[in-house]
Amino acid sequence: MTLQALSGAQIVLPDAILDGQALLIDGEPGDVRIVGLAPTGNIPTDCEVQELDGGWLMPGFIDVQVNGGGDVLFNDMPNVEGLRRIAEAHRRFGTTGIMPTLISDFPGIVDEAIAAGEEALHQKVPGILGVHIEGPHLNTAKKGIHDDTRFATVDADVIARLSVPTTGRRIITLAPELAPQGSVKALTEAGVLVCAGHSMADYDQSRAALEEGLAGFTHLFNAMTQFLSREPGMVGAALEDRRTHFGIIADGLHVHPAALRVAIAARGLEGAMLVTDAMPPVGGMKDQFTLMGTEVQVIDGTCRGPDGTLGGSALTMAQALRNAMEMLGHDIVEASQMASGNPAKFLKLDDVTGAIAPGLRADLVHLDSEYKVRTTWIGGARKDDPE
């Protein structure tokens, strides 16, 4: 590949914004890396220049909770084609890395989902980083839209199933109070990123899971015990701990923006990850879908079952980024950290992607002056697909 220069946009670094600079990228097809920067008036003559015409060039978004997209639900299509379609749908909105998320299901479907993730990684499907298994080891009292007839207890067979080696990343969301002592530790030692969610765990039970290696918390505030004066709950444990990350659904509907502002102020920006919890309507043509026999419809920008229960979202990462700035008061550097840098660190991929820095993979997004997606690059492969 010829050395390329991406020129004409402001460049969002982990701690600054640069103007008047071009980003240089080079490498083999599918694995193009960031080389460095050059003044726009002094771009090397051997460069192929891509003019971006203003806006912002920043690291591509990384979403660790994606149930579906492009009218596809991962549970209904746990295969490589399903993953490809979901990743393509989210790429339109600046997401260059996803953890496709399986909602609570039977063991055979879990096995299919894990196998599909491995095959997608083997085929190098653009954007697939691994698989997130959200349940079925959850608490019925906090089931949300999940079908609790598919819930199961954690035992040795479950740990073995979830610990199958992966060439990518694997996240497991479970209710720690229902997992036997040592379960979180066993999964963590197998390389699994264990998150707590859909749980009635109190503060002490959450702390115990943290000591076993719990890596994070799935959609903070939603489907977990809350922070109260005499019972800090799971939310309190999440905000107190400095080793973990938590996902936030910044759509203004799942959680009040003030609660998110307080949480980030308490924990620190470095703990927060923007996630979508996206369902099939994102990047699709339909505003409704069926989840385990339940009809779910997009209402006021989110997904709800017949009784009003939240069932994921219709949020995109591009909109989450804009909401982080407009609702939560962050600048674009801070919003980028929550959309890219922090998820990369959580996934232990920050030496590969998640920032604009020499040596990292050219996973990038170009936003126009109104923060709308215009172009993405995954491993340097460009796609113009306006939001």
Judge contact between 22 and 66, C-beta under 8 A. no
198 is in an annotated binding site: yes
In angstroms, the CA 23 to CA 36 distance is: 6
In angstroms, the CA 150 to CA 152 distance is: 7
Judge contact between 57 and 23, C-beta under 8 A. yes
312 is in an annotated binding site: yes
284 is in an annotated binding site: no
219 is in an annotated binding site: yes
Nearest partner of 168 among 92, 99, 264, 218, judged by Cα? 99
145 is in an annotated binding site: yes
Catalytic residue among 277, 300, 351, 368: 277
354 is in an annotated binding site: no
Judge contact between 382 and 89, C-beta under 8 A. no
SS3 186: helix
223 is in an annotated binding site: yes
Nearest partner of 303 among 320, 281, 271, judged by Cα? 281
254 is in an annotated binding site: yes
310 is in an annotated binding site: yes
Q: What are the phi and psi torsion angles at 139 (to 5°)? A: -95, 125
90 is in an annotated binding site: no
SS3 221: coil
Assess whether 204 carries a catalytic annotation. Answer: no
311 is in an annotated binding site: yes
Note every long-range contact of 235-238, with CB atoms under 8 Å and residues 24 or more positions apart, other chains counting.
235/263, 236/203, 237/203, 237/206, 237/207, 237/210, 238/196, 238/206, 238/267
What six digits make up the tokens of 334?
């801070």
Q: Which residues are annotated as a binding site for substrate?
A: 145, 222-223, 230, 254, 310-312
Q: Which residues are annotated as a binding site?
A: 134, 145, 198, 219, 222-223, 230, 254, 310-312
Q: Which residues are annotated as a binding site for Zn(2+)?
A: 134, 198, 219
- Which are the catalytic amino acids? 277
